[in-house]
Amino acid sequence: MSIDQIIQDFVTKGSAIHRIHVLDYYYAVNRLLQLLHLDHFNTDVTPSIPLPKLLDSMDRLVDYATEQKIIADTQRGRDEFEAQIMDILTPLPSTLNKDFWDCYQEAPMRATDEFYQLCRDNDYIKTRQIAKNEQFNVSSPYGDLIITINLSKPEKSKQDILEAQKSTDGYPKCQLCAENEGYKGRPGIAGRTNHRVIRVPILGENWGFQYSPYAYYNEHCIVFTKKHISMNVGHHTIQNLMELTTVFPHYFMGSNAGLPIVGGSMLGHEHYQGGRHHFPMENAKVLDTWTWKTNSNVTAERLYWPLSVVRLRAHDKEDILQAGSELMEAWDNYSNEALQIKSHTNDEKHNAVTLIARRNGSDYELDVVLRNNRTTEEFPDGIFHPHPDVQHIKKENIGLIEVLGLAILPPRLKTELAEVESFILGANNNIAPYHQEWAEELKQQGTITKENAATILKEAVGHKFQRVLEDAGVFKQTKEGQMAFAAFIADFQA
């Protein structure tokens, strides 16, 4: 296929899906010619029938650029060039923001639907890579847990890591900063030419709203401060989350804890995550229900969940703010040495919360998940962190998404679990040493056949994730743990 044919198909398809206006046809063609170092285009070339998918034509354009030595044939080179191609069919930030808020006046859901579809069409959301992720559900005493093996993010080579370490000039300051919008990219900083951010006013300040390129769930979005400031979870966090669920009533919004170990992977920039997704924790059984002691408008619930969760519900968000702040303040200073919970060591704070806000009809809900990041010689990674015997499956921080019952497991497990399956079937294998003891236990659990091995293995992984979450719980699912939890919340019961 000639390069003229590929260009024609790309621009025609972009127009067919309403991403390139018919009046912008020649402009789009000429932008592509510039990127591809071409001076001429055969206007007599007719579009292919049927038209290729837009991303297939994009791939052919990138292949041409690598063949002609216009770009390096590396993952970074291809990614950056893909973004430049797709920028041609992406509106300017000013135009996109105007269109978004015009749609919002008709319906908030329509505004996010159209922005989300744009981010899929222009390949900012990596739909093809996300489709590679593996997902399955596993039953637990707490309800179904969702297990995903994250295969979408490309693994960094040693060269990528070395180049990133040299990239220290501070622009953009981090991968969340608004400075990334339209940035070409460099070693250590992804190409974001096709990236767009919606400006959202929150309590007098401008925040950015974007979608995650490698979404972990439906409409996975990120809301971040305009200024590059570190995560700081407090009274204002509840205010912001309540406001966001007012602006986007069809989305949940949540904040990671603001401390290492129990926080997410990005503590350097204040941000929240949200989306339109129903998580396992939302289905958790309710152990206790009561009226909040200082505010009868608030209903509170203690959930049966591996982590320690109090759910607050009220019609007025100010009532939620009051109750949530009282709960956070009490937890900030709570210690119970019998359960290894210490609020502070000298001046170092250990207690924190993961917060999840949502709308339930016209009511507001806030889940307050109690966390603690203390370490000991026995548990140097964290007392309330995945313990060593489950780290062969999950050793990373337990952040907001895992708290909600969705496991994000590392890509290494795809090949490693295949070796474990071979081992338990008695076939030749190259099992990783850190899976050996677990695999031996699985092998003793009865008759394993080719027909049931995969199911047995998935259930075993799910049970390990259940343990991961239980390790992160501060009030364990034991008589002592639940008595202590009940005593802690007694001060808030009318």
Q: How does residue 164 score in pLDDT terms, banded at 50, 70 and 90? A: low
156 has pLDDT over 60:
no
**Cα dist from 135 to 138, 384, 421, whole Å:** 10, 26, 17
3-state DSSP: the chain helix, strand, coil percent, rounded to 5? 40, 20, 40
- The angle subtended at Cα 166 by Cα 216 and Cα 197, nearest 5°, is 40
Q: How does residue 266 score in pLDDT terms, banded at 50, 70 and 90? A: confident
| Strand 406-409 to 145-149 pairing | parallel
Q: How does residue 163 score in pLDDT terms, banded at 50, 70 and 90? A: low
User: In the chain, count of helices (H) and strands (E)?
Assistant: 15, 15
Task: Please enumerate in sequence order all residues whose Cβ is within 8 A of that of 487, keeping only pairs 6 or more positions apart, or say none.
Answer: none
> What distance in Å separates the CA atoms of residue 36 and residue 395, rounded to the nearest whole number?
44
pLDDT in the model for residue 477 = 94
> What distance in Å separates the CA atoms of residue 98 and residue 118, rounded to the nearest whole number?
14
Q: What is the pLDDT of residues 359-406, one digit of tens each?
A: 999 999 999 999 999 999 999 999 999 999 999 999 999 999 999 999
Q: For 184, how many CA atoms within 13 A lie in the half-sphere containing its CB? A: 3
158 has pLDDT over 60:
no
SS3 299: strand
Average pLDDT over residues 272-300: 97
> What distance in Å separates the CA atoms of residue 184 and residue 174, rounded to the nearest whole number?
14
**Cα dist from 372 to 258, 399, 402, whole Å:** 11, 12, 16
126 has pLDDT over 70:
yes
481 has pLDDT over 80:
yes
Six-digit token string for 12: 């025609």
> What distance in Å separates the CA atoms of residue 403 and residue 172, rounded to the nearest whole number?
30
347 has pLDDT over 80:
yes
Query: Contact 399/263 with Cβ under 8 angstroms?
Result: yes
pLDDT in the model for residue 355 = 98
- Boundaries of domain holding 73: 3-89
pLDDT in the model for residue 170 = 84
Q: What is the pLDDT of residues 203-244, one digit of tens each?
A: 999 999 999 999 999 999 999 999 999 999 999 999 999 999
pLDDT in the model for residue 493 = 96
Split into its structural domains, the chain has a count of 1
Tell me what the pLDDT averaged over the chain comes to: 95
Asked, for residue 66, whether it belongs to a domain, the answer is: yes
Residue type present at position 343: S
Q: How does residue 30 score in pLDDT terms, banded at 50, 70 and 90? A: very high
Residue type present at position 37: H
Q: What is the pLDDT of residues 422-479, one digit of tens each?
A: 999 999 999 999 999 999 999 998 889 999 999 999 999 999 999 999 999 999 999 9
Bridge partners, 354 (sequence order): 369
Q: What is the pLDDT of residues 168-193, one digit of tens each?
A: 568 999 999 999 999 999 988 899 99
The reply to whether the predicted model has a pTM over 0.85 is yes
Q: Percent of the chain, pLDDT > 70?
A: 97
Asked, for residue 456, whether it belongs to a domain, the answer is: no
Asked, for residue 480, whether it belongs to a domain, the answer is: no
Asked, for residue 232, whether it belongs to a domain, the answer is: no
Six-digit token string for 101: 């808020």
Query: Contact 474/341 with Cβ under 8 angstroms?
Result: yes
Closest C-alpha to 264, from 230, 238, 239: 230
> What distance in Å separates the CA atoms of residue 117 and residue 100, rounded to the nearest whole number?
12
Q: Which residue has the tokens 């994730």?
A: 465
Of 21 and 161, the structure prediction assigns the larger pLDDT to: 21
- How many CB atoms within 10 Å of residue 214? 15
Asked, for residue 231, whether it belongs to a domain, the answer is: no
13 has pLDDT over 80:
yes
Asked, for residue 113, whether it belongs to a domain, the answer is: no
Residue type present at position 175: Q
